[in-house]
Amino acid sequence: MNKIISALLMAIFFVVPAFAVKTDSQVEQYVDTLVEKVSTMLSDPAISEEQKVKKSRQLMAENLDLEWMAKYSLGRHRKELDMPQLKDFTKIYSSYVIKTYSDLVRNYKGQKAVIKKVSNLDDAEYIVKTEVIQNGQPSIKVDYLVRDVGAGKGKKVALKISDVITEGVSIINSQQAEFNSMISNGGIDALITELKKKI
């Protein structure tokens, strides 16, 4: 009898964390595959720089949760926009992000990313900590916010990257600060005009 009880207790205590680990490893695998894909593409000498920029644009469009990022970057001003405006903004925001960040590919010089840790923020939010090792320079800490876009809608697990945090500096939080000051001074139209200039 005692054996059964202890076995049950063991089962309860060990199985519960095991469930969490399952999704964690899924997230890790997702980031790992993506990092692998990007670094093979970038270090392939047969592909020209223009081609690399083009390919990374495609990868960003597929893997970034641009709709959510657009909403987040608006912060408290999001509620001031109606549906068509929000849609319009999301479209311009997406091309802005893809344009400005795909250009960074040109700085690539054989850096390698190593996954350090995956942790769970919320039911469907994970942080994947990586370290970018570069030749002869101190390594850079890059964390990814990975969200399960399918969660809550009864859909399958659909992981997307929703933020990239480099040495503590988050893309969407910086954008929120910038956009916030822009909207406070000139309204959403001023922001959209400004973003269009950068595309």
Partner 1 sequence: MKLLQSLYILVISLGLTANVLAEKIQSDTEYKNTYSIDQDVSEVYDPYEKLNRKIFAFNSTLDHFILRPVAVFYKNITNDYVKARVGSFTDNVNMPLTVVNYGLQLKFDNTMKSLWRFIINTTLGVGGLFDVASKFDLNPTRQTLGSTFARYGVGPGPYLVVPFFGSTHARDVTDNIYSNSALNPLKYHFHRDFKTGFTVTKLVHDRAIALPFTDHITRSSTDPYIAVRSAIHQNRESKIEYPEGYEPPDLSNP
Residue 113: which of 131, 128, 97, 89 has the closest Cα?
Answer: 131
Binding of residue 19 to partner 1 (CB under 8 A): no
Q: Which residue has the tokens 């925001």?
A: 93
For partner 1, which is the closer residue by CB, 36 or 91? 91
For partner 1, which is the closer residue by CB, 7 or 47? 7
Please select the residue that binds partner 1; options are 3, 22, 153, 156, rule is CB under 8 A.
Answer: 3
CB-based burial of residue 26 (10 Å sphere; 0-12 exposed, 13-18 middle, 19+ buried)?
A: middle
Please select the residue that binds partner 1; options are 40, 46, 48, 76, rule is CB under 8 A.
Answer: 76
Binding of residue 184 to partner 1 (CB under 8 A): no
112 with 39: CB under 8 angstroms? Answer: yes
30 with 159: CB under 8 angstroms? Answer: yes
How many whole angstroms separate alpha carbon 92 and alpha carbon 81?
A: 15
Binding of residue 144 to partner 1 (CB under 8 A): no
93 with 176: CB under 8 angstroms? Answer: no
First vs last Cα of the chain: how many Å apart? Answer: 70
Residue 188: which of 84, 100, 69 has the closest Cα?
Answer: 84
Binding of residue 43 to partner 1 (CB under 8 A): no
Applying CB under 8 A, the site for partner 1 has a residue count of 52
Binding of residue 104 to partner 1 (CB under 8 A): yes
Please select the residue that binds partner 1; options are 51, 178, 187, 189, rule is CB under 8 A.
Answer: 178
Q: Which residues bind partner 1 (CB under 8 A)?
A: 2-3, 5-6, 9-10, 13-14, 16-17, 20, 68, 71-72, 75-76, 78, 96, 100, 103-104, 107, 117, 119-121, 125, 127, 135-138, 145, 162-163, 167-170, 173-174, 176-182, 191, 194-195, 198
